[in-house]
Amino acid sequence: MDDRTGEADAVREVFESSPILLCGLAGPDHRVIAANAAYRTATGRDDLLGRPVIEVFPEIAGQQLYEMADRVYRTGVPQAGQGWRAHLEREPGSGRLVEMYVDFTVSPRFGPDGRVAGLNYVGMDATDRVLEQQGARLEATEAARRYEEAREVITALQRQLLPAGLPVLPAAQIAGSYLPADAGDAAGGDWFDAVPVSGGRIALVVGDVVGHGVAASAAMGQLRAVLHDRLDESGDPLVAIAAADRMARRLPGARAATVCVAVLDPAGGALAYCSAGHPPPLIAGPDTARYLSCAGTGALGTGATYALSTDRLEPGEVLLLYSDGIVERPGRTPGAATAELAQVAVDAVAGRGLDDPGLTAAERVCLHSLELLVRQTGHTDDITLLAARRRPPVPPLRLELPADAGAIRPARDALVRWLLDQGAGEADFATLTHAVVELVTNAAEHSHPDSPDGAVTVTADLLTNGTARLVVADDGHWRHRARPAAAGFRRDHGIGLAMTAGLVDELRIDRDGPGTTVTVGHRISAPATLLNAGEISRGAAYRPAEQDEAAGFRIRATPAGSRLAIHGPLDATGAEQLTGELRRLTLGGTHELTVDLSAVTHLASAAIAVLYRTAGPARLYAPAGSVAQHVLSVAGLPHTTDDPDQDV
């Protein structure tokens, strides 16, 4: 054997034993002229040599592999790939495809004339690596999904532990805002509360539990409950903080929490406050601001002693309680951050800077401080702001109207204006306007059935504890509703009072004197602003718009007449129109019809009576959480919260 033969044998041995997949192709039909053991094993083919690739691997048609080989042969430009997926029939003729992933390079092989004579394929089976990476990505995706779900649950939990709204009081405007940490630590332990206490005063609370997550939220909820209970009972900041301190000594998650409690008398401006290791309150006017001195010495559960301090809030000033997240922003020293907060608060009180005419001064301090300060630096901790400002009380509402259907709209419109002046929230508008419509309708229809000379009076007062007291009185005669077993009983009659009672906190009927007096009591509140990082610049908070609701009422039927959509307030006037439409579209009660109540803003008992009479052919649709859904539930009228026509 000569040297050349030995070298050729060595090359063949290296080629054959290489763990890399090696294959040589020749000509434009890509005939296999060489394939090592690794290539044959990976592809499950032994009979390769001299055959075109398309004949050896017919199953890979459509996988763009032939096309790639043609392109390299035609252009002379190599092609490489990482983790390409291919389906091969490792047992030819079995019909069972195996998925594999390969890293490869296909390069041209040039002949003596410089033209492409064939292709060289060099590859590695990357299946194990790619599957491992895919598994890791799936695990990471699943972990991220579980994390986001947990974060959403914790955030939702914390928001449920915070007050849904802030009390609306005769002589004070209260506003609050809450922004959770922008970091990935989930919800934290900041909280706020506003508690009406004896003597027309209001107790304001802002606190901060150490840490984040479920434990911090749970500790926050317990501390807030204790403070709220003690303030409601005693109205004394020291008594409340002493109770929270005792709890913090027993509850590890609450230890070292900080809290500030301030009790304001809006009538005269007297202010009593106590701090347990919390940043001092700020009083801001249109020109200057000052931080109050705090006699408290340490956080809850640390053995500190606490003392009460006093001050005075002047008309036109805003009292601000806050958590340390607003003064511990990235890139700011505590001194610089507290000075910035004071300046922004002064500008907000004066109405300088951002122009949000729909906001009160207290709301501007809470919202503008967040937007103007956080947008400069970001934030790494929860931020809670709670503000109060004295205001002159809104005069009580006093109306005397004829006891007929014409009194319904003036009574409702006057109550809407009164609630707007008070600053009530959306839910209270819906509840109390519904109540006044039902009570005035009841007085008009039942107290004077045969006399045109009756009268109805409507009064509304806001009590010092934030309860709106609505009184509707008539000078007619009480008419008892027939019992179910009695002649003349109709299920759709007499439901106005029952519906009203189901919507408000308290309803009392007095029939001792001439006529009937119905008194409604309902705590009204304004929503606190609970934000996320993307909502800081959303501007004015919700304000119910005063509008002519009658102009917004409309009934629309589909061309086929199988669905009726109602928009706006459905009162006694609309009920008459609804009656005609239902008769027309159900052909006198012989055809089914979907009545879409999702856009109804008011659903009076007169309309409920109409719907009772057509409950058979009419399918009532009222989405969960809608005005109609709540009223229909109170009235006991069958309905669905899922659109029966959604698949039509």
pLDDT digits over 393-419, tens only?
999 999 999 988 889 889 999 999 999
* Amino acid letter, 365: V
Q: Calculate the alpha carbon distances from 267 to 202, 274, 349, 363, 525 in Å.
A: 11, 21, 20, 20, 20
**Does the structure show a pLDDT above 70 at 591?**
yes
Q: Extract the tokens encoding 404.
A: 């007929």
Please check whether residue 264 is in contact with residue 172, taking contact to mean a CB–CB distance below 8 angstroms: yes
Q: Tell me which residue of 399, 397, 391 sits closest to 266, measured CA to CA.
A: 391
Note down the domain range covering 434. Answer: 397-527
What confidence score (pLDDT) does residue 279 get? Answer: 94
Pair (555, 512) in one structural domain: no
In this prediction, residue 448 carries a pLDDT of 56
The CATH number for 571's domain is 3.30.750.24
Same domain? For 250 and 277 the reply is: yes
More confident residue, 143 or 48: 48
Please tell me whether residues 291 and 373 are part of one structural domain. yes
- Between the ranges 77-81, 96-100, 473-477, where is the mean pLDDT highest? 77-81
Rounded to whole angstroms, the Cα distance separating 255 from 234 reads 24
Give 625 or 180, the one with higher predicted confidence.
180
pLDDT higher than threshold 60 for residue 184: no
Question: Edge-to-edge, what's the strand order for the sheet holding 554-557?
Answer: 554-557, 563-570, 593-603, 618-621
Q: Which two tokens stand for residue 34?
A: 């060489």
Model confidence at 452, pLDDT cuts 50, 70, 90, reads low
Q: Which of 46-60, 496-510, 568-582 has the highest mean pLDDT?
A: 46-60
**Coil, strand, or helix at residue 260?**
strand
Sequence-separated (6 or more) residues with CB below 8 Å from residue 47: none
Do both 500 and 618 map to the same domain? no
Query: Looking at the structure, do residues 217 and 118 belong to the same domain, yes or no?
Result: no
Q: Residue 48 — φ and ψ, nearest 5°?
A: -115, -45
C-alpha 245 chain-centroid distance = 33
Window from 93-107, 172-186, 473-487, 595-609 with minimum mean pLDDT: 473-487
648 occurs within a structural domain: no
Contacts made by residues 575-584, CB under 8 angstroms, sequence distance 24+? 575/604, 575/606, 575/607, 575/609, 575/610, 578/607, 578/610, 579/610, 581/555, 581/557, 582/610, 582/614, 582/618
The amino acid at residue 48 is L
Residue-level pLDDT at 550: 42
Helix 408-422, helix 426-442: angle, nearest 10: 150
- Determine contact, residues 169/176, Cβ cutoff 8 Å: no
Q: Are 355 and 406 in a shared domain?
A: no
Higher pLDDT, 80 or 513: 80
Q: Residue 145: count other Cβ atoms within 10 Å of its Cβ.
A: 10
The H or E element spanning position 513 is none
pTM, two decimals, is 0.70
Percent of the chain with pLDDT over 90: 52
Residue 149 tokens, joined: 């779900």
Asked if residue 506 and residue 567 are part of one domain, the reply reads no
Whether residue 337 has pLDDT greater than 90? yes
3-class DSSP state for residue 442?
helix
Closest CA to 533 of 184, 207, 260, 298: 184
Q: Is 207 helix (H, G, I), strand (E, B) or coil?
A: strand
Q: What is the mean pLDDT of residues 612-628?
A: 81
Domain end position, chosen among 105, 125, 145: 125
Tally the domains of the chain. Answer: 4
One-letter amino acid at 311 equals D
Q: Last residue of some domain: 125, 141, 175?
A: 125
Mean pLDDT of 476-505: 62
**What pLDDT shows up at residue 17?**
93
Going by pLDDT thresholds of 50, 70 and 90, the confidence category of residue 296 is low
Among 355, 375, 390, which residue terminates a domain?
Answer: 390
DSSP string, 552-602: H-EEEE-TTSSEEEEEEEE-HHHHHHHHHHHHHHTTTTTS-EEEEEEEEEE
Residue 515 to residue 528: CA distance in whole angstroms: 41
Which residues on adjacent β-strands are paired with residue 264?
202, 271
Q: What is the pLDDT of residue 377?
A: 87
Average pLDDT over residues 524-552: 63
Residue 8 falls within a domain, yes or no?
no
Residues 29 and 100 in one domain: yes
Q: Is the pLDDT of residue 489 over 70?
A: no
418: domain CATH number is 3.30.565.10
Winning range, highest mean pLDDT, from 162-166, 249-253, 259-263, 431-435: 259-263
Answer yes or no: is 534 within a domain.
no
Is it the case that residue 265 has pLDDT exceeding 70?
yes
φ, ψ for residue 613, nearest 5 deg: -70, -20
Q: How far apart are CA 278 and CA 257, in angstroms?
A: 9
- DSSP secondary structure of 101-143: EEEEEEEEEE-TTSSEEEEEEEEEE-HHHHHHHHHHHHHHHHH
Residue 572 confidence class, pLDDT cut points 50, 70, 90: confident
pLDDT > 70? residue 158? no
Residue 492 has pLDDT above 60, yes or no: no
Residue 491 has pLDDT above 70, yes or no: no
- Going by pLDDT thresholds of 50, 70 and 90, the confidence category of residue 340 is very high
Answer yes or no: is pLDDT of 532 > 90.
Answer: no
Task: Report whether pLDDT(508) > 90.
Answer: yes
Q: Mean pLDDT, the chain, as a whole number?
A: 86
Mean pLDDT of 18-40: 95
CATH number, residue 26: 3.30.450.20
Nearest one of 427, 417, 463 to 169, comparing CA atoms = 463
Calculate the dihedral angle through the C-alpha atoms of 542, 545, 551, 557, rounding to the nearest 10 degrees: 0
SS3 393: coil
230 and 361: one domain?
yes
Q: Please, which pLDDT band fits residue 73 given cuts at 50, 70 and 90? A: very high
Q: Is residue 154 part of a domain?
A: no
pLDDT of 226 above 90: yes
The alpha-helical segments, DSSP class H, found in 177-333 are 214-234, 237-250
Q: Are residues 405 and 380 in the same domain?
A: no
Q: What is the CATH number of the domain that holds 382?
A: 3.60.40.10
CB burial string 414-450: b at 16+ within 10 A, e below: bbbebbeebbbbebbbbbbbbbbbbbbbbbbbbbbee
Tell me, yes or no, whether 3 lies in a domain: no
pLDDT at 292 over 80: yes
Q: Smallest Cα–Cα separation from 42: which of 84, 94, 102? A: 102
Q: Which residue has the higher pLDDT, 254 or 430?
A: 254
- Tell me the mean pLDDT in the region 80-91: 90
Angle between helices 361-377 and 334-350 (to 10 degrees): 140
pLDDT of 426 higher than 90: no
**How far does CA 208 lie from the centroid of its chain?**
23
Mean pLDDT value across residues 175-190: 73
- Do residues 320 and 171 both lie within one domain? yes
Residue 536 falls within a domain, yes or no?
no
Q: Is residue 643 part of a domain?
A: no
* Rounded distance between C-alpha atoms, residue 547 and residue 330, angstroms: 45
What is the Cα 106 distance to its own chain's centre? 55
Helix (H) / strand (E) element for 604: namely none
Could you tell me if residue 363 is inside a domain?
yes
Highest mean pLDDT out of 4-13, 111-120, 479-488:
111-120
**pLDDT, mean of residues 367-375:** 90
- ∠ at Cα 602 (598, 605), nearest 5°? 110
Who wins on pLDDT, 536 or 35? 35
Q: Do 113 and 171 reside in the same domain of the chain? A: no
Check if the beta carbon of residue 200 is closer than 8 Å to that of residue 227: no
- For residue 615, the model assigns a pLDDT of 66
